[in-house]
Amino acid sequence: MNPIHELRSRYDMAAQEDRSAPRTRILIPAQLRASGMRAFQTVVNDLSLSGFSATALTRMHPGSICWLTLPGLESLQAEVIWWQDSQCGCAFANLLSPIVHDNILARYRGDGVYRR
């Protein structure tokens, strides 16, 4: 199976299972890098176990692979699902662990301030 189709298929299955997972509005300064491009500064606007939305002034093409780097974490691979009006929505290649998700939310209480 084509890797992009496989990723989409996994996301579709995960989305059906985890779309009911809370999508938390939050402000997290981060870096986003589209495949083959340089990383740029962004702000993650919401986060769930299966994905995120972020500011992306540069057009992000649906179906392309990208990497999100949050402070204190390794880069997380994702697929761009949509891009509109300088915002993009992405699905993680692997669901976030609930522990990692909760840790991120505890560090950022919606104000973009990192707490250790």
The C-alpha atoms of residue 106 and residue 94 are separated, in whole angstroms, by 21
- 3-state SS track over 51-78: EEEEECCCCCCCCCEEEEECCCCCCEEE
Query: With a cut of 70, which residues of the chain have pLDDT below it?
Result: 1-21, 110-116
Output phi, psi for 80, to 5 deg. Answer: -70, 125
The C-alpha atoms of residue 72 and residue 80 are separated, in whole angstroms, by 23
Give the pTM: 0.77
What pLDDT is recorded for position 11? 46
